[in-house]
């Protein structure tokens, strides 16, 4: 595959450049097997619909067709489980979990990774994704399979990390 250069100009990044070197949705690290695509996540509802409302030109238009978005403010009713399950970006910055290349956090990294970008941050982000499996174990331990009313905040949080918690 010939590398494709992407130039980002949105509210959080100006002139940021990266290369797509892998085919979209393929050639993932062996330890990384997300259950949901970015398009599925946006359609079903993540981060109160506020996430990625100003960066549509960076990603395929199809991702935003049917996406649950709330450009003005996060709205928990846009989330699949109708609950708030995330901390504000300032919290993530304070914890040191945000890197300059992906100022919106893990989901931005995942969207870019899904599109074919590979970076020096991949290993760290995949490790963070894998750490969410502790929440999968808690759902399986405390909830009957298919009971979507059990632990909705934990289910929504998993959904934010591309785990399909509807199947747990």
Number of domain units in the chain? 1
Whole-prediction pTM = 0.95
Helix (H, G, I), strand (E, B) or coil at 46: coil
Residue 115 three-state SS: helix
> Are 150 and 139 a contacting pair, CB within 8 Å?
yes
The phi-psi region of residue 162 (left if phi > 0; otherwise alpha if psi is between -120 and 50; otherwise beta) is left
43-99, pLDDT tens digit by residue?
999 999 998 888 899 999 999 999 999 989 999 999 999 999 988 889 989 999 899
Residue ranges making up the domain that contains 102 = 4-167
Six-digit token string for 95: 């914890």
The per-residue pLDDT for range 135-146, each reduced to its tens digit, is 999 999 999 999
| The token pair that represents 62 in the structure block | 């199809």
């Amino acid at each position: 595959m010939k590398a494709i250069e992407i130039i980002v100009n949105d509210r959080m990044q100006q002139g940021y450049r990266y290369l797509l070197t892998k085919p979209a949705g393929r050639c993932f690290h062996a330890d990384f097997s997300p259950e949901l695509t970015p398009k599925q996540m946006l359609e079903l509802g993540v981060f109160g619909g506020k996430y990625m409302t100003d960066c549509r030109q960076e990603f395929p238009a199809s991702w935003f067709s049917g996406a649950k978005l709330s450009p003005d403010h996060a709205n928990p009713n846009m989330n699949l489980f109708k609950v708030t399950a995330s901390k504000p970006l300032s919290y993530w910055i304070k914890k040191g979990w945000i890197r300059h290349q992906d100022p919106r956090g893990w989901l931005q990294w995942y969207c870019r990774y899904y599109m074919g970008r590979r970076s020096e941050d991949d290993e760290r982000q995949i490790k963070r994704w894998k750490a969410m499996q502790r929440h999968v174990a808690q759902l399986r331990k405390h909830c009957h399979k298919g009971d979507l009313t059990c632990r909705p905040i934990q289910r929504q949080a998993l959904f934010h990390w591309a785990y399909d918690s509807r199947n747990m």
